[in-house]
Structure 1
Amino acid sequence: MKNDPIRIGINPISWSNDDLPSLGGETPLSTALTEGKAIGYEGFELGNKFPKDPAELRDLMAGYGLDVVSGWYSGRAATRSAKEESEAVGAHLRLLAENGCKVMVYGEVADAIQGEPLSLYKRPRFRTDDAWKRYGENLTDFARFTLSHGVRLAYHHHMGAYVESPDDIDRLMAHTGDEVGLLFDSGHTFFGGGDPVAVLDRHIGRICHVHCKDVRPDVVKLARNRHWTFLESVLNGAFTVPGDGVIDFAAIVDRLRAHGYRGWLVVEAEQDPAVAPSYAYADKGYRTLRALLDREPVREVA
C-alpha cells in the first residue's frame, strides 16, 4: 500500500478531541497509534498529544511503523502579514518538513468562531472584492514561503471561519496562486451548503490534501435551523466516518484517481467516543475507503 499514489491516514480526533478535551481527553496517544496501526492506517495527522520535537516525533512514529501525514497550523493571514506568518510558523514547519510531510494543514483562526459559544451564522466574512484580493495575495506570499521548505500550504475551509461556503472556496481559489493548495473536506463542504462532488470537480486541480468526513444530514439541518455553535453540532453528531452517512465517497475516490491525485485520504470525524466508539468507527472509515480504492473505478458511459 505504501507504493499506492493514494494512501489512507487518520486524525487522532477519533480518539481524543483537541478542541473539546472532555471527548476522549483521558485516552493516551499510544492507544490511538496502536489501534490505528492495527486497523490498517499508514499514517496519522498530528494533534496536541504528539511530540513537538522533530527527532522525538520521528522516533515515536517509527516505533509504530506509521508516517506523519501532516499537522494543523492555526494561521492568522487575515490579520497578520505573510512575513509575520512566516516567522510564527517556523517550529511547526520544521516539525513537518523533517518528518517527510508534503503538505501543511492551514486553518484560518483569525476572527473564527469554531471554538466559541456563538451560532455559526455569526462567522466572519470578507465583505468586498478588495478584502478577498488582499487576503489572497497575503496568503499566496505565505504559501510561497512554506513551499520553499518543501511543504505546500493546504487550505482547510472550515465551519465558523472566513472560508466556509462553496462560494467562499471559489473566491479563495480565484484570488490565490497555485502555491496555495486546497484541503478538500467532504464534511465541511456539505455542512457549508455545498455538494461535495461538485466542489471537488470545480477545484480538483488545486486539491493537495483530503479530509474524509461523512455527515448526518438531519443533524446538520437542525444545527442550521436551531443556530447551534460548531461544537454543539459536533456533540450532537453532525459528523461521522465515511460509510456512515450520505456523502458519495465512491464518486470522490473515482474522481481523485482519474485526476491522478497523489496524497492522503484522512479519516477525520469529530464525534464523542462515548457515543461513537473510537476503534469501531475508525475501522469502519478505513474499510470504506480501502474497499473503494481496491475496486475498479466506475467508467461513465458517454
Structure 2
Amino acid sequence: MNYPMTVPKAELHCHIEGAASPSLVLRQAEKYQVDVSSIINGNGKYVWSDFTSFLQAYDLASSVFKTPADYALLSESYFRMLAAEGAIYGEVFISPDHAQAAGLSYRSYVEGLAAGIEQAKEGTGIEGRMIAIGVRHFGAASVERVAKEVVGNPHPLVTGFGLAGDEREGHPANFAKAFRIAGEAGLGLTAHAGEFGGPDSIVAALEFLRVKRIGHGVRAIEDKDLVRRLVDERIVLEVCPGSNTSLGVYSILRFHPVNLLRRAGVRITLNSDDPPFFHTTLGKEYSSVAETFGWSTADQVEVTRTAIEAAFCDDGTKQRLLVRLESADVQ
C-alpha cells in the first residue's frame, strides 16, 4: 500500500517488547537456544489465534531479550523503522515486569533501551521517550512497586507512567495510589481502557487515575455523554485500529469508530500497539485509516499535531517537533 512518506508521523502507543520483528526474535532465539517455532511460522510471521494465545506468543518472544545490549538492539531497530516511515517522534511502553522476568534490574533495562533510542536519534533524527507500565492483573501492590521503582530511578527518557494488562481485571480505583505517586513525580499519565472493557472502564480511569490520555478508548462511542466529556476535557485517545481489528474488538476497519470519534471532536492519535503481531506498522495505520475514511493529507497532519501536543516530553522538544511538522513538504 502506498502512503505519502511526506506526512510526518508520531506514535504514542506501542509496547516495545511487542515491537520486536519475527526476524529479530529468531536471531535472538538462536543466540540463546530458545525454541520459538510455536509462535513464528515458516513464512517468518507470528502465529496466534486469540487474545490468550497472543499474550503467550508475546511473552515467549519477549523472553529472548535478556541483556541491556539486547534491549538496545530492540529499541534502535524499532525507532529506525519508525523513522523510515516518516515518524519524527515515538513513545514506547516499557515493562519493568518483563525486565524482572529476564533477570534485569529496572535501571539496566532502561539504560539499554535508552542507548538504542539515542542511537536511532543520532542516525535518523527521531525523538523517543518511554512510558513505564504496571500490569493490572498482577494486582495493586505490583503496580505500586513499579511506580516507586520508576520514581526512585529517574531517567530523562522515561517521562510517563501507564496501566496495561487485562482490562477485565482490577478496578482502576485499586491503582489510584500508584498513579498519585507517578503524577506527583511529574510523569505523564495514561491507562489502557475501553478496548475489551466498555465505556464504564474509561470513566473509571478518568475518575480514579486522573489521566489525560487513554490507551484505545474507542468504546467511548457507545456512550454519548462520555464522548462529550472526552471533547470537553480534551482527553486524547491513543487509537490502534489495526490492533482492534486483529483482536476482534471490531470485525473490519470500516466498522471501527475512529472516524466517528474524530468527527465528534474527540482528540485522536493513530498507533500500532504491537505492530508485527498485528501485521501492521505506524505508516500502515495512517494509510489504511486515511484510505478507508477518506482522510486528507491535512487530516493526517492534524493527527500528528494532536500526538505531539499530547506527548509526554518537555515543551522545548514539543516546539521543535511542531516546527518540523509545520515545515515539512507535505504533498
| TM-score band, normalised by shorter chain | 0.5 to 0.7
SS across alignment from 2:92: coil
User: How many Å apart are 1:166 and its aligned residue?
Assistant: 0.4
Match of 1:60 in 2: 119
After superposition, give the CA deviation of every residue in 1:228-272 in whole Å (9 maximum; x if it has no partner): xxxxx62x69588xx776334375277256xxxxxx935135565
Q: Does residue 41 of structure 1 match 2:43?
A: no
Distance 1:172 1:80 in 2: 14
Q: 1:290 to 1:24 in 2, by over 3 A?
A: farther
Decide which of 171, 182, 193 is 1:146's aligned counterpart: 182
After superposition, give the CA deviation of every residue in 1:26-49 in whole Å (9 maximum; x if it has no partner): 995544322311222122232569
Decide which of 214, 219, 226 is 2:241's aligned counterpart: 214
Match of 2:26 in 1: none
Whether contact under 8 Å (1:36, 1:282) holds in the other structure is no
Whether contact under 8 Å (2:163, 2:191) holds in the other structure is yes
Match of 1:99 in 2: 157
Distance 1:92 1:28 in 2: 21
Equivalent residue letter for 1:268: S
Decide which of 65, 68, 74 is 2:134's aligned counterpart: 74
Decide which of 179, 189, 203 is 2:218's aligned counterpart: 189
Distance 2:193 2:234 in 1: 12
Q: 1:55 to 1:33 in 2, by over 3 A?
A: closer
Whether contact under 8 Å (1:155, 1:180) holds in the other structure is no
TM normalised by structure 2 equals 0.51
User: How many Å apart are 1:213 and its aligned residue?
Assistant: 1.9
Match of 2:279 in 1: 276
Decide which of 266, 269, 276 is 1:265's aligned counterpart: 269
SS across alignment from 1:59: helix
User: How many Å apart are 1:150 and its aligned residue?
Assistant: 1.2
More helix by share: 2
SS across alignment from 2:265: helix
Distance 1:94 1:62 in 2: 26
Decide which of 202, 217, 227 is 2:229's aligned counterpart: 202
Percent identity between the two aligned chains: 9
User: How many Å apart are 1:169 and its aligned residue?
Assistant: 2.3
User: How many Å apart are 1:157 and its aligned residue?
Assistant: 0.9
Distance 1:171 1:141 in 2: 14
Distance 2:240 2:275 in 1: 11
| Count of aligned pairs between the two proteins | 234
Whether contact under 8 Å (1:8, 1:42) holds in the other structure is yes
Distance 1:97 1:37 in 2: 23
Whether contact under 8 Å (1:181, 1:206) holds in the other structure is no
Q: 1:277 to 1:59 in 2, by over 3 A?
A: closer
Distance 1:94 1:290 in 2: 43
Distance 2:226 2:281 in 1: 29
TM normalised by structure 1 equals 0.54
Whether contact under 8 Å (1:155, 1:181) holds in the other structure is yes
Equivalent residue letter for 1:267: N
Q: 1:266 to 1:97 in 2, by over 3 A?
A: farther
CA RMSD of aligned residues (A): 4.9
Q: Unaligned stretches of 5+ in structure 2?
A: 1-7, 22-45, 47-53, 65-72, 100-108, 303-331
